[in-house]
Structure formats: structure tokens, C-alpha cells
Amino acid sequence: MNPAKIFLAAFLVNNIILLRYIGLCPFFGVSTRFSTSFGMGMAVVFVMMMATFVTFALYHLLLIPLNLLFLRTAVFILVIAALVQFVEMFLKKSFRALYSAMGIYLPLITTNCAILATTFLVIDYRYNLFQAMVFALGTSLGFTFVILIFSALREKLEYAPISPAFRGYAIAFIAAALVSLGFLGFIGLFGLSL
């Protein structure tokens, strides 16, 4: 599959939040303000690229040659947790501006299932390293894109006259259903399917 198609499939047609239902906890938890969504999105892009690269290398250079495939889940989650810690310490020491922009979101990312899911998916799809990185970029930008448009929508919902039972999460889910319905329209674009 060519890289442009992989990117578009990950970004729009198989959008990780709205069409695959992965990464919903940060999606609903963080997307209440536009600015926090942006910080979270950038942190996800950064960590997802690094995590995909590292786990991909470990899987092909360590787990396959040593025949340790059953350790995949344990190794991946530990690597991601350690990586996030290192990135946080490194940014804190060397890049203060970047740290203050996305530092507080980094610890939350360890349990963001979008990261772990992406590292599993590129292996399930048998991508090579380049395709895997393109997929990670598309997925994380898709995450950021959706979380941004959705946070703008939720800021409006705050002031909308909504019946008490639907306030908060309930209306957010229904708004997500409508946005998701819009994204369903991308199916078939460039011959890509769900």
C-alpha cells in the first residue's frame, strides 16, 4: 500500500477515535477546552511516533529472533511507560518551553490506549518501518484533529440550553455520534474502506 493511502486511511477513513473507538478516555476527559486539547494532541503525536519506532525495533530485533512473542503485551506497555518517563525528564531538563506546553499531559499518555493500539496495529498489518511511521503520524494527527474540533464543539455546548439529564457526558456522547456520522462519510474516499 502506498504511504499516502496509509496516511489518509489512518487520518480520516479509519479515524482512531471516531471510527475505531480507541483513546476515548482522554477524548472525553481532556476535550473540554481548546487549549488543553492542543497540548494533549501534540504530546500524543510526539509519544506515538517514538513509541511506534521503539516497539517496532524491539519486536523485530528482539522478540522475533528470541521467539518471545508471548511477551509482546508486557514488553510494549512497559517500554511505553518507561519511554514516557524519559521523555518527560528530558523535556523538563532541556526544552522548558516544550515541557510547559505539553508536560502535564505526558504522564496521562501511558494509559492512553491509542498509543498501545497503534503499536499493535502496525504489527498486525505487517507494515515495514516506513509504513509504520506513516501510520503512526496519520493516526496521531487524526487524534489531534478530532480532539480539536470536538473541544470547540464542547465549549459551545457549555452554554447551550440542554435538559438536565443530558448535561455533561450524555450530550458529549451524542455530539460525538454526530461528528462520527460525518466521518462515516469519508468511507470510500480514494477507495479506502472501514
Partner 1 sequence: MIRRRPSRLKYLLDGIILENPILILMIGLCPALATSLTARDGLGMGVAASFVIITSNIIISLIRKIVPDNVRIPVFIIIISTFVTIVDYTLQAYQPALYQALGVFVPLIVVNCIVLGRAEAFAYRHGVFDSFLDGLGKGLGFTLILFVMGTAREFLAGGTFFSKSVGIEFLQKNGILFMIFPPGGFLLIGLLKALVNKYVKLE
Q: What is the CA radius of gyration of the chain?
A: 18
Region of 5-13, 45-53, 70-78, 91-99 interacting with partner 1 (CB under 8 A): 70-78
**Residue 91 CB, nearest distance to partner 1 (Å)?**
20
Distance of CA 67 to the CA centre of its chain: 29
Give yes or no for residue 25 binding partner 1 (CB under 8 A): yes
C-alpha distances out from residue 175 to 25, 143, 151, 179, Å: 16, 16, 11, 6
> How far apart are alpha carbons 185 and 38 in whole angstroms?
25
Of the residues 173, 188, 189, 190, which one makes contact with partner 1 according to CB under 8 A = 173
Q: Could you give the 3-state DSSP secondary structure of residue 170?
A: helix
Of the residues 22, 43, 45, 47, which one makes contact with partner 1 according to CB under 8 A = 22
Looking at beta carbons only, is 98 or 131 nearer to partner 1?
A: 131
Give yes or no for residue 31 binding partner 1 (CB under 8 A): no
Helical spans, DSSP H, in 95-112: 96-102, 106-109
Of the residues 18, 45, 136, 146, which one makes contact with partner 1 according to CB under 8 A = 18
Q: Which amino acid is at 179?
A: V
Number of residues interacting with partner 1: please give it, by CB under 8 A. Answer: 43
Helical spans, DSSP H, in 125-168: 129-157
> How far apart are alpha carbons 133 and 127 in whole angstroms?
9
Looking at beta carbons only, is 1 or 174 nearer to partner 1?
A: 174
Site residues for partner 1, 72-101, by CB under 8 A, read 72-74, 77-78, 81
Looking at beta carbons only, is 20 or 92 nearer to partner 1?
A: 20
* Contact partners, residue 168, CB within 8 Å, separation at least 6: none
Site residues for partner 1, 111-150, by CB under 8 A, read 111-113, 116-117, 120-121, 124
> How far apart are alpha carbons 104 and 93 in whole angstroms?
14
> What cell numbers appear for 194 in the block?
472501514
Region of 34-42, 110-118, 132-140, 143-151 interacting with partner 1 (CB under 8 A): 110-118
Which residues lie near partner 1 (CB under 8 A)? 18-25, 28, 70-74, 77-78, 81, 111-113, 116-117, 120-121, 124, 164-174, 176-178, 180-181, 183-184
